[in-house]
Amino acid sequence: MANEDLTAPLGMGKRRLLRLPFGLIGAGIVSVVGTTALIWMGVVDDPYGGEPTAVVPLEATVQGVSSRDIEVVEIRPSLDGELGPNMRPVDGRETLGPRYELIDQTLGSGFEGGLSINPDPRVSERSEYGFLPKISSEGVRPLDAYSRPFETSFTSIPKIAIVITGLGLSETGTQNALDRLPADVTFAFAPYGSDLDRRMQDARAKGHELLLQLPLEPFDFPDNDPGPHTLLVSLKPSDMLDRLAWVLTRMTNYVGTITDMGARFTSTRPSVQFLFEKLKERGLMFVDRGDSSRSVAPEVAEETRMPFSAVDVVLDEVPREDDITAKLLQLEGIARAKGVAVASGSALPVTVRQLQQWSRDLEERGLQLVPISATIDR
């Protein structure tokens, strides 16, 4: 027997045999468990793999929507950190991933008063600035894909189109127009407006047909400057195309463009011919707001068969209630005489308020409010 065993206290003679490294064993167990958890998280895609699941079979068509009507396309690249079309946050989350969105092609013709808020891949093409409108391989134009349907049963009823311009520049003014104006009023957005994708979605969801304002050179340029991407009569064709491409990619889902200033541009035939050629190639219509009495746009449009409409009355040149009311009466007279009339106005509170009141009993007076695309020969 060892000497230590004789001197050890009673009952403690075997204690050394039980001195195991429990600290090291515990650390090893924790290490194994942690390593296993990390491997599991890295390899397994479904963290709820053990949860009950259900599989629902989908038919080829659902309520008339076929599988070919739904595609996945790349969204327009953001130039200012925006999410882009149809990427609005919902409860702090993106509705889809940061790169793709679902496009429902069947909604382009309108449904229950609303219009599709997604760019139609058939009439969109990618450019260095974003999505440009185009005519599809089947001949579908953005003018066709994004137009608002309207009642055509009574063709003899005089028709009136109202275009509200300058939207997107004022948050309050834009929202006021969205909240108070009927769906058949056409909205024209400024290319320099903020958050145009979101505003486009809001307007289309409420049924409004859209135009994009095209900044054109006035006679007193640069003292009166529509913006850094203004189309000038002195520009080379390549520079003109570059500026035009930038403007046309500011938003999607519009049927055409409307002039922003442009008295000099619209009175210069070569410039108008070049512009109409490019817009027609992209399947868009053109609305002349009538900034110049010398505009050659109507003549060139007829020569080139460009989808064209011209503003007959500017409602709020003098933004007072009585003056706007007088302009609306003038507009009604033009519609009854010609069969169709077009007016433009801004989103000033007084203009929106007068239009809201005027439109309430329009049908009772034998007139029909229509979107701007209904004023052209389709």
Q: Looking at residue 268, which CATH number applies to its domain? A: 3.20.20.370
Q: Model confidence over 185-213: pLDDT tens digits?
A: 999 999 999 899 999 999 999 999 999 99
Whole-number pLDDT of residue 46: 52
Instruction: Look at the chain and report how many structural domains it folds into.
Output: 1
Q: For residue 10, is pLDDT > 90? A: no
Q: For residue 17, is pLDDT > 50? A: no
Whole-number pLDDT of residue 346: 97
In a 3-state reduction of DSSP, which class is residue 348? coil
Q: Residue 148 is part of which domain span? A: 144-375
Strand pairing class (285-288; 256-261): parallel
Q: For residue 120, is pLDDT > 50? A: yes
Whole-number pLDDT of residue 43: 58
> Residue 289: inside a domain, yes or no?
yes
Distance CA 329, CA 81 (A): 45
Whole-number pLDDT of residue 100: 30
> Residue 1: inside a domain, yes or no?
no
What mean pLDDT do residues 127-145 have? Answer: 96
Q: Model confidence over 146-186: pLDDT tens digits?
A: 999 987 766 789 999 999 999 999 999 999 999 999 999 99
> Residue 178: inside a domain, yes or no?
yes
> Residue 264: inside a domain, yes or no?
yes
Provide the strand spans (E) within the chain.
61-62, 65-66, 70-74, 89-90, 93-94, 100-104, 124-126, 131-133, 159-167, 186-189, 210-216, 256-261, 285-288, 308-310, 313-314, 340-346, 368-369
Which tokens go with 280?
């027609």
Average pLDDT, the chain: 81
> Residue 7: inside a domain, yes or no?
no
Q: Model confidence over 285-324: pLDDT tens digits?
A: 999 998 889 999 999 999 999 999 999 999 999 999 999 9
Whole-number pLDDT of residue 354: 98
User: Which of 106-115, 235-244, 350-359 is least confident?
Assistant: 106-115
- Residue from 101, 82, 369 nearest 250 by CA: 82
Whole-number pLDDT of residue 87: 34
> Residue 190: inside a domain, yes or no?
yes
Q: 96 burial class (0-12, 13-18, 19+ CB within 10 angstroms)? A: middle
The strand pairing partners of 211, in sequence order, are 188, 256
What is the percent of the chain with per-residue pLDDT over 70, rounded to a whole number? Answer: 71
pLDDT-derived band at 244 (thresholds 50, 70, 90) equals very high
Q: Model confidence over 362-371: pLDDT tens digits?
A: 999 999 999 9
Strand pairing class (313-314; 340-346): parallel
Comparison of pLDDT for 94 and 215, the residue scoring more: 215
Whole-number pLDDT of residue 178: 97
> Residue 16: inside a domain, yes or no?
no
pLDDT-derived band at 68 (thresholds 50, 70, 90) equals very low
Which tokens go with 348?
């000033």
> Residue 230: inside a domain, yes or no?
yes
Q: For residue 378, is pLDDT > 80? A: no
Strand pairing class (89-90; 93-94): antiparallel
pLDDT-derived band at 281 (thresholds 50, 70, 90) equals very high
Comparison of pLDDT for 309 and 98, the residue scoring more: 309
Cβ contacts of residue 282 below 8 Å, gap of 6+?
132, 133, 134, 135, 142, 248
| Distance spanning both ends of the chain, measured CA to CA | 114
